[in-house]
Amino acid sequence: MSNKNTSMLCERDSSALLIIDVQTHLTAIMPAKVLARLQRNMGLLLNAAGLMDIPVFATEQYPKGLGNLEEEIANLLPEGSFRYEKTSFACTGAENFNADLKASGRKQIILAGMEAHICVMQTATELGNDGYQVFVVADAICSRHRESYETALLRLRNTGVTILDAESVLFEWMRDAKNEHFKTLQTLLR
C-alpha cells in the first residue's frame, strides 16, 4: 500500500479523519471502559483536526435502527465536516462519500470508530484497494468483543494498514514542539 513517495507518518496536509458509526445504540452495548477510551481518543483526534483544518468525514450505519451519532462526538465535529448515512458496511458504499473524499485531495485516511471487525475493517480494506494510505487508530476503535477487536487489528496489519494510537497521530500532524497548536493539544493530553 505504500511506496517510496509515501510518508509512513501521518502528514497534516495529506490527512483526512474518518469517524465511523459512533452511534447511540452501538455505544450502549460497548463495555464502559472500552467506550471511555474510544471517546477520549476520538475527542483528541477531532479537536486536533479542527485546530489544524484537517477534513473530517463521519458516517452513521442505518441510524433508524442504530441511533444517531453520539451527541458528544457530533458536537466535536469541526464546522464543514461531511456526514453520511449508510447501509453498506464499508463507508465507500455511502452516497457521495467517494466523490467527496476524492475532492478533498487527501490521500492519507485516519480511521476511528466502530465496530473494528465490521465497518472499520471493510472501510480500511476498500480505501486501501482504492489507493489510499490507511491508518487505523487502535485506541479509537472498538468492537463488542475483545476477540473481534484483536482479530481485526491482526487482519488490518496483514493487509498493510498502519496501526497507531491517537497521540501518535497528533504528534505526527504537529511534527515539532514549535507547532502553533502544541500547547493547546498538550493540555488535552493530560
Domain harbouring 115, CATH code: 3.40.50.850
Q: What are the phi and psi torsion angles at 19 (to 5°)?
A: -100, 120
* Total of domains in the chain: 1
Q: Is residue 3 part of a domain?
A: no
What pLDDT is stored for residue 190 in this prediction?
Answer: 80
Q: Does residue 7 lie within any of the structural domains?
A: no
Q: pLDDT tens digits, residue range 105-120? A: 999 999 999 999 999 9
pLDDT in tens, 8-46: 999 999 999 999 999 999 999 999 999 999 999 999 999
Q: How confident is the model at residue 5 (pLDDT cuts 50, 70, 90)?
A: low
User: How much is the pTM?
Assistant: 0.96
Domain contains 66 = yes
| Per-residue pLDDT at 1 | 43
The arithmetic mean of pLDDT across residues 74-80, rounded, is 97
Per-residue pLDDT of 49-69, as tens digits, reads 999 999 999 999 999 999 999
Query: Quick check: 134 and 124 in contact, CB under 8 A?
Result: yes
